[in-house]
Structure 1
Amino acid sequence: MITGAAEARLDQLARLWDEFMTLRFPPGLYQREPQGSCMVMMDTTLAGCVASAMDGPLDDRNRDLLQARTAALGEILPSLRDDEYAAKYFAHLHGMTVLAIELDQARRE
């Protein structure tokens, strides 16, 4: 059952997702690996977790993956400041992942 809090987060997440889908991946990060992280893999993994969270409750594996990668991205974000577009792109993705975690938690309450 989806609660009012979860429904509000789902609506907000859907809006952020629609905005995110119009963005292109930052071209400067295809070859660059800030803090040793492949940003293409970070992007696809987190986007997949967000999409799964919008479809319903996450299983333990995806929940753990989402939380771990969100924390890792949070640590990487400051190193992207030299590329304004990449910083904006990944800040948007990070915001979505935080909201997806909150949505998943609200569904389990």
Structure 2
Amino acid sequence: MTTVSRLWGEHLKQPFPSRLRSVEVAGVEMVMLDANVAGCVSTWLNNGGDLDGWRRDALATCERQLERVVPELADREAAYYQRLLDMTVLVLG
């Protein structure tokens, strides 16, 4: 939980990559992907490491989407979404 907490704190300090507003990458709407992961991770943290089945399923879908989009991104955008993927893997692990 400590690692997810640290990554979450780092994530909150980073602005959303402006180029990715209203953009799809590999068929994934990037703003929604960010919002979905953020909602699940913040819920997991607020619930002491517990996530209901619906959110766990949603986060598993996000993991598959992140695995598709991260290789398509570069630099700061890739780092932003890689951090989301890292948190997702840890929460689901």
TM-score of the superposed pair, with normalisation by structure 1: 0.79
Structure showing the higher strand proportion among its residues: 2
Count of residue pairs the alignment pairs up: 91
1:52 to 43, 53, 71: 43
Runs of 4+ in 1 over 4 A off after TM superposition: none
2:70 counterpart of 1:93: no
> How high is the TM-score relative to the length of structure 2?
0.91
**What is the CA–CA distance in structure 2 between the aligned matches of 1:77 and 1:16, rounded to whole Å?**
17
After superposition, the CA RMSD in angstroms is 1.0
Contact 2:22 2:31 in 1 (8 A): no
- The aligned residue for residue 5 of structure 1 is none
Report % sequence identity: 35
Report the 3-state secondary structure (helix = DSSP H, G, I; strand = E; otherwise coil) of the residue aligned with 1:94.
helix
Q: CA deviation at 1:90?
A: 0.4
Q: Tell me the distance in 2 between the aligned counterparts of 1:27 and 1:65.
A: 24
Q: Could you list the runs of 5+ residues in structure 1 that have no partner in the other structure? A: 1-9, 103-109
Larger relative contact order (C-alpha < 8 A, sep ≥ 6)?
1
**Separation of aligned partners in 2, 1:31 and 1:13:** 27
Q: Which amino acid counterpart does residue 24 of structure 1 have in structure 2?
A: P
